[in-house]
């Protein structure tokens, strides 16, 4: 129950793929915002390792990244007593519901997904069926838990919209089965751009290491990467479409300090980009330092991480089975 309103808490679901070192895009666009929701919502956060294999992964690295991603959820401040934290492959209902939903999703809809187009261009030698039906698995993740809200960055909005379309279609054929979810996005931080090409999203898999800041980068690295960040030729710290590099740095600074764009412009009036970039680097490194030290402690305690994941999977499986059995009944599968 929500104590303030005395109504049942709304349900939240989200996840991150355990593919390599997470960036401040993942942190500011997703994980950091989740911590603010844990008191007022009933939240489930998943490490979506089944999504990860749509692109070829080294098995040992995938296992390591799975533990690391869970540790980052905890290090960022998600309390396992208040949130359900789990690993996708531990709850088989995700793959089971995805199969059913595949039969209610159109080829044309999936062909229009911009992430599929981007990823198939980047992985031209491995355009597998999983990469194509990836958004259906994502819809299953969300719909299994009857989520009301899905906190994501802008790049995932199209997938949440497709999830809504699939849910509406299924409900209209079989009567109300799924809650229709909505994307949930804060004002800033939903699209952190590359530091080297600020018209492109900051991405975990960018080949240019200077384009991304990783959550686990040390202070010197963070300051150096911001110092190298691409900016434009004038020297005014101002937000605007004509200044994508500076605007991106302002968004990052605003997320870490809570300052508005007006305040930032005022604070850096008459100062050059050098001072501003240093301030952004310091604010970022200082904000990430406590997350990094908690992360290091957690990674030493694998048994604890496993206990969190096991508990989370039990809670998630119970909720997921309820939805799956309802779906199976509606479509006409015999159940004993
Ligand atoms: P993934 O793993 O690519 O990213 C995890 C989250 O980080 C956000 N994000 C960003 N936000 C702002 N700026 C950026 N540069 C940036 N890069 C990434 C993403 O929007 C996302 O919120 N398909 C999803 C994972 C997923 C999922 C789900 C999410 C699977 N099932 C169900 C929500 C609900 C993905 O690949 O995210």
Domains of the chain: 11-185+302-331 (3.40.50.620), 209-296 (1.10.240.10)
Pocket test for ligand 1, best of 15, 62, 69, 70 (most atoms within 8 A of CB): 15
Distance of alpha carbon 254 from alpha carbon 225, whole angstroms? 18
Q: Give whole-number Cα distances, 32 to 61, 101, 124, 207, in Å.
A: 24, 31, 33, 25
From the list 88, 44, 96, 38, the residue with the least C-alpha distance to 66 is: 88
pLDDT digits (tens, 9 = 90+) for 77-99: 999 999 999 999 999 999 999 99
pLDDT beneath 70: ranges in the chain: 2-5
pLDDT digits (tens, 9 = 90+) for 181-225: 999 998 889 999 999 999 999 999 899 999 999 999 999 999 999
Q: Would you say the CB of residue 113 lies under 6 angstroms from ligand 1?
A: no
CA of 31 to the centre of ligand 1 (A): 9
Q: Would you say the CB of residue 206 lies under 6 angstroms from ligand 1?
A: no
pLDDT at 188: 85
Could you say which of 119, 225, 243, 277 is catalytic? 119
259 is catalytic: no
Distance of alpha carbon 311 from alpha carbon 313, whole angstroms? 5
Could you say which of 157, 204, 219, 271 is catalytic? 204
pTM of the model: 0.96
CA of 16 to the centre of ligand 1 (A): 6
296 is catalytic: no
pLDDT at 4: 64
201 is catalytic: yes
Contact present, 23 and 214 (Cβ < 8 Å):
yes
pLDDT at 7: 78
pLDDT at 8: 87
DSSP string, 65-100: HHHHHHHHHHHTT--TTTEEEEEGGG-THHHHHHHH
Burial category of 311 from C-beta neighbours within 10 Å (exposed 0-12, middle 13-18, buried 19 and up): middle
Distance of alpha carbon 288 from alpha carbon 169, whole angstroms? 43
pLDDT at 87: 98
CA of 246 to the centre of ligand 1 (A): 24
Burial category of 226 from C-beta neighbours within 10 Å (exposed 0-12, middle 13-18, buried 19 and up): buried
Helix axis angle for 273-299 and 219-227, nearest 10°, is 150
pLDDT at 2: 66
Q: Would you say the CB of residue 52 lies under 6 angstroms from ligand 1?
A: no
Please identify which residue in the block is written with the tokens 């202070």: 219
CA of 156 to the centre of ligand 1 (A): 6
């Amino acid at each position: 129950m929500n104590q303030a309103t005395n109504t049942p808490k709304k349900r939240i679901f989200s996840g991150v793929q355990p593919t390599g070192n997470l960036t401040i895009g993942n942190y500011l666009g997703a994980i950091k915002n989740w911590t603010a929701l844990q008191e007022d919502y009933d939240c489930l956060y998943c490490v979506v390792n089944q999504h990860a294999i749509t692109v070829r992964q080294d098995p040992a690295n995938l296992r390591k990244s799975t533990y690391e991603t869970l540790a980052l959820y905890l290090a960022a401040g998600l309390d396992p007593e208040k949130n359900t934290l789990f690993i996708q492959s531990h709850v088989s209902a995700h793959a089971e519901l995805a199969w059913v939903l595949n039969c209610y999703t159109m080829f044309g809809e999936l062909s229009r997904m911009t992430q599929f187009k981007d990823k198939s261009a980047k992985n031209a030698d491995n355009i597998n069926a999983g990469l194509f039906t990836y958004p259906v698995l994502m819809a299953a993740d969300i719909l299994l838990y009857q989520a009301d809200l899905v906190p994501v960055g802008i790049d995932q909005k199209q997938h949440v919209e497709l999830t809504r379309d699939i849910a509406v279609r299924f409900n209209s054929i079989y009567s109300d089965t799924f809650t229709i979810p909505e994307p949930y996005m804060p004002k800033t931080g939903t699209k952190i751009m590359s530091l080297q090409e600020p018209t492109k999203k900051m991405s975990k898999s960018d080949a240019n290491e200077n384009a991304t800041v990783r959550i686990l980068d040390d202070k010197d690295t963070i300051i150096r990467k911001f110092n190298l960040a691409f900016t434009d030729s004038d020297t005014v710290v101002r937000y605007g479409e004509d200044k994508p590099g500076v605007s991106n740095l302002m968004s990052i600074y605003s997320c870490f300090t809570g300052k508005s764009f007006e305040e930032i412009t005022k604070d850096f009036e008459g100062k050059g980009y050098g001072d501003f970039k240093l301030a952004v680097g310091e604010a970022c490194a200082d904000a990430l330092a406590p997350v990094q030290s908690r992360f290091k402690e957690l990674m030493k305690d694998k048994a604890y991480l496993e206990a969190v994941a096991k508990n989370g999977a039990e809670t998630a499986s119970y909720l997921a089975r309820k939805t799956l059995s309802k779906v199976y009944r509606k479509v006409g599968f015999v159940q004993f």
